[in-house]
Every structure is written in C-alpha cells, then in structure tokens.
Amino acid sequence: MDHTLSKKAYAKACTCLPGGVDSPVRAFSSVGCTPIFADHAQGSHLFDVDGNSYIDYIGSWGPMLLGHAPAFLQEALLSAVRKGTSFGLPTVLETELAELIKEAYPSVDMVRMVNSGTEAVMSAIRVARAYTGKDKIIKFEGNYHGHSDGLLVSSGSGALTYQVPTSPGIPQDVIRHTLVCTYNDIESVKKAMNNHKGEIAAVILEPIAGNMGLVQAEPVFLKELRQLCTEEGILLIFDEVISGFRVAYEGAQGLYCVKPDMTCFGKIIGGGLPVGAYGGKKEIMQMVSPSGPVYQAGTLSGNPLAMRMGIAMLTYIKEHPDIYAHLEAFGAKLQEGMQAILDQYHLPYPLHRCGSLMTLFFTDRKIRSYKDVQTCDLQLYRTYFQGMLKRGILLAPSQFEVMFISAAHDLRDLQDTLIAFEQTMKELL
Ligand SMILES: *Cc1c(COP(=O)(O)O)cnc(C)c1O
C-alpha cells in the first residue's frame, strides 16, 4: 500500500498546523506512523489521497451512524445551502431539531444548540453551577468531555493517547473545582461527596464510556449514582455525545432506564456537520439567557446547515428503527468472528462491545475502569493497527478509542475484516 501523497501532504501540513493536524489523535503518532489524508468516503469505505481504499471503522469518530455521504443527507445539505448558510436570526429548523431530541429523551424538556460537544458540556456545567449555587464537579478518570479547562482533568481520548490527561495551561484554581472519581466505583463517589458536602454542583459521566476504549457503566453503579445525586441535591449530567442516538435511539439513558438531570449531545445529531446541544429539565434550562441569567451564546449556534442535517439524520433513523437491529447483528457477528480467532490462538484479550461500538483491549485484565485500561500493551495495539491498515481496515489510531460500526457496513465488509484480523493476529504471535 503506497502512502506517498499522504506523506507529502503531512509534511506540508506540519509547516503550518501544529503536528500537521487540527485534532491530536489524527496524527497517528501513537501507532507509529504518519496519518493517511482522506480524499473522499462513501458508505463503509474511505479513500485516501493516494487512491487506497479502506473499510472505515473511524466513522468521523461517531457522527457517521449511516456510513458516509448517504444520498438523502447530501440532498438535505444542498437544499439548505441554496437558502443561505447563516442568518443570525432564529429559524424553525432549531425548534424542529430540539423537538426530535425531546421526543427521544424524556429527561429533556428544553435544548440549547451549540457548535461542538466541548461547548455543550462546558455550558451544561456552567448552568449546573448557577442552578445549584455550587462550584465543584465530579468527573471520572478516563472519561472525556471535550477540551474545556475544568474538564480536561484525568481525561480520556487524545489526552490519554498522548499521556497528558491533565493539560498544562489550565490554572490550578480551575482544576481544584474538579474532583476525579473512579468509574464503576460508587465508594469513590461517596467519599468525594462526603469530603465536599454541600459544595458539589454536578456529577458528569459518559454512561457508556467511549474515550478510554469502550467501558460500560455497570447498571447498579448508574442507579446508585442517580440515587446519591438526588439525595444530595447534586445534578446528574450524562455526556451522551457518543452514545446518544447510537447505542439506541433513546441513548444510554434509554438502555439503562436512568434519568439524568441534564444531557449533552453532539456527533450524530449534526449528521456530520459541527454541532452540539445540551438539554434537561425545564427549571434548569430556563436558567439560560435570555430566559435566565446564565450567559451562553454563539454566532453560528443553531446554524441552518447543521440543523437541516441533524433533522434529516434523526428523522431518517426514527423512521428506520431496523437500523439498530442491523448494527447489533453486524456488531455481534464481528464480535463472534473476532472472539473465535482470539480463542483459536489462545489470546486472552477482552473484546468489549455495545451495539455498534467495540474495543479490543490488549491486556489479560478484566476492564472496568481507567486503571484496568492502563494495563494495555500499547506496542501490541500499534502492531494490530498497522497490520489492519495495510490490509485495508481503518481502525482508530489509539487503544483508547472505539471502533465505530455503521449501518453501511455489510457482510462483505465483515468477511474482509475477519480475514484481515486473523492474518494480523497470526503476525502478532
Ligand atoms: C467527542 C466527545 C466530546 C467532545 O465533542 P467535540 O465535538 O469533539 O467537542 C465530548 N464528550 C464525549 C463523550 C465525546 O465523545
């Protein structure tokens, strides 16, 4: 597989973009190679600037639930573009997308649209602090909530990939309001709540964590968390930027039957355009300006192109609920196939899956939290990634990210992926 043009593009990009990219994980440095530059993508396949084709399991890190560039989304975007790209005035599209979200998430009475997941979470935290009159928040080690100051503490995703879970440049004064607990460990939460009684505004988590590899919250952990928050008058915020509309139309809160006070969205709800949203109970959301005192604004918030894409995406999946059965069936077959190969070669690596999200962890430990994830052999992941890439399978270039399956992946992709997997595992031995 020839990567000449990608290498050239990367060298040039490095002269004017830090590290040659606009988001760190894209640099591929943690898997020991230089990035492939995308040219175009269609369905389950992505094509790089050298003309190589890959079965894509990055899926733009989540938004591409239906695969790349489905015709109806292209049409939706074109029709929106023809009407103008931004007005700085409200459009009915914002209400329409908000209604689609509300309808699927009974915990959400009102929604504010923003431009990214980072912005959604950052703003939700501000509202939670204003609503409760408290400053401190609890987050979990290895969970990622975007790159805003107070949340970039013991963080997952790229921060974890590059060993900077807590970034320099964030004042200690900000960090001291972020309490970090252990995922799936309710005792660590009780301890933090006891040590800071009456000081905590919110607990935020990924109910299905997808930024330290895939690690699901245990149902009893979420239930106890909900109960503790209610008892203590602390808001429970679900970051469903990945899990929302992916693990089910109703998200993780639907699967677990746990109602958070606030929810953050992104990725899928923009259909591939930059978008984020946060929402929750009416009395909380009415704190947001101009109906309340909490200031939060955006020149391009509720952008008509992004709204139109989000509406098209959510309407389509709402009308085609069989998509989730397809994702589950593909995911299950892929998991079974991979597991059979792992068993055949006596490889003990845990393979986690929830619907269309999957991670193979290169460790023999049971994985429940960040501590367990830390035992993974990153050298092995690197060999795995490179082995799959040269066979035309594009995985996340980091052990700490998930594989995203789309509804466009078909049986042919499944077979090709399993063949590549078996050859790569043989190479690993
Ligand atoms: C991607 C992600 C974010 C950040 O969203 P951006 O659009 O990248 O700012 C926040 N939370 C979770 C769980 C995510 O996966």
pLDDT tens-digit readout, 102-121: 999 999 999 999 999 999 99
Taking the alpha carbons at both ends of the chain, their separation in whole angstroms is 23
Question: What pLDDT score was predicted for residue 183?
Answer: 97
Q: Is the CB of 116 under 6 A from ligand 1?
A: yes
> What whole-number distance in Å separates Cα of residue 93 and Cα of residue 91?
5
Question: What pLDDT score was predicted for residue 392?
Answer: 98
On the question of pLDDT at 154 being above 90, the answer is no
Tell me which residue of 170, 188, 169 sits closest to 180, measured CA to CA: 188
Residue nearest to ligand 1 atom 14, measured at CA:
241
Q: What is the CATH number of domain 71-319?
A: 3.40.640.10
**Which tokens in the block code for residue 356?**
């269309």
Q: Do 334 and 414 form a contact (C-beta atoms < 8 A)?
A: yes
Give bridge partners of residue 242 from the DSSP assignment: none
> What whole-number distance in Å separates Cα of residue 316 and Cα of residue 44?
18
Taking only the tens place, the pLDDT of each residue in 327-359 is 999 999 999 999 999 999 999 999 999 999 999
On the question of pLDDT at 299 being above 90, the answer is yes
CA atoms within 13 A on the CB side of 241: 32
CA distances from 301 to 22, 25, 115, 219, 329 (A): 21, 26, 6, 35, 36
Residue nearest to ligand 1 atom 5, measured at CA:
117
CA 265 to centroid of ligand 1, rounded, Å: 8
Q: Is the CB of 266 under 6 A from ligand 1?
A: yes
Q: Give me the mean pLDDT over the 276-298 stretch.
A: 98
Please list, residue by residue across 239-262, b when 16 or more beta carbons sit within 10 angstroms of its beta carbon and e when fewer do.
Answer: bbbbbbbbbbbbbbbbbbebbbbb
> What whole-number distance in Å separates Cα of residue 362 and Cα of residue 375?
8
Question: What pLDDT score was predicted for residue 155?
Answer: 75
Taking only the tens place, the pLDDT of each residue in 2-26 is 999 999 999 999 999 999 999 999 9
Question: What pLDDT score was predicted for residue 162?
Answer: 65
Residue that the structure tokens 């900077």 belong to: 164
Residue of 25, 144, 206, 278 to mutate, ligand 1, most atoms within 8 A of C-beta: 144
- CATH 3.90.1150.10 boundaries in the chain: 4-69+321-428
CA 255 to centroid of ligand 1, rounded, Å: 20
Task: Give the total residue count for the chain.
Answer: 429
Residue nearest to ligand 1 atom 13, measured at CA:
241
The residues annotated with a catalytic role in the active site are 144, 239, 267
Q: Is the CB of 146 under 6 A from ligand 1?
A: yes
Q: How confident is the model at residue 173 (pLDDT cuts 50, 70, 90)?
A: confident
Model-level pTM?
0.97
- Flag the least confident range among 37-51, 157-171, 213-227, 384-398: 157-171
Taking only the tens place, the pLDDT of each residue in 195-241 is 999 999 999 999 999 999 999 999 999 999 999 999 999 999 999 99
To 5 degrees, how large is the angle CA 331–CA 336–CA 339?
A: 120
**Which tokens in the block code for residue 98?**
């908000």
CA 266 to centroid of ligand 1, rounded, Å: 7
> What whole-number distance in Å separates Cα of residue 94 and Cα of residue 309?
11
Q: How confident is the model at residue 262 (pLDDT cuts 50, 70, 90)?
A: very high
Q: How confident is the model at residue 152 (pLDDT cuts 50, 70, 90)?
A: confident
**Which tokens in the block code for residue 101?**
């979200």
> What whole-number distance in Å separates Cα of residue 55 and Cα of residue 119?
31
Architecture in CATH of 4-69+321-428: Alpha-Beta Complex (3.90)
Q: Do 264 and 277 form a contact (C-beta atoms < 8 A)?
A: yes
CA 344 to centroid of ligand 1, rounded, Å: 37
Q: How confident is the model at residue 172 (pLDDT cuts 50, 70, 90)?
A: confident
Q: Give me the mean pLDDT over the 80-95 stretch.
A: 98
225: which residues sit within 8 A by CB, 6+ positions away?
186, 189, 203, 205, 236, 258
Question: What pLDDT score was predicted for residue 161?
Answer: 66
- CATH 3.40.640.10 boundaries in the chain: 71-319
Percent of the chain with pLDDT over 70: 98
Q: Is the CB of 118 under 6 A from ligand 1?
A: yes
Taking only the tens place, the pLDDT of each residue in 231-248 is 999 999 999 999 999 999
Taking only the tens place, the pLDDT of each residue in 361-412 is 999 999 999 999 999 999 999 999 999 999 999 999 999 999 999 999 999 9
Tell me which residue of 186, 118, 125 sits closest to 155, measured CA to CA: 118
Q: Is the dihedral of CA 325, 329, 335, 338 positive or negative?
A: negative
Residue nearest to ligand 1 atom 15, measured at CA:
242
Ligand 1 atom nearest 240 alpha carbon: 13
> What whole-number distance in Å separates Cα of residue 249 and Cα of residue 265?
12
Question: What pLDDT score was predicted for residue 165?
Answer: 63
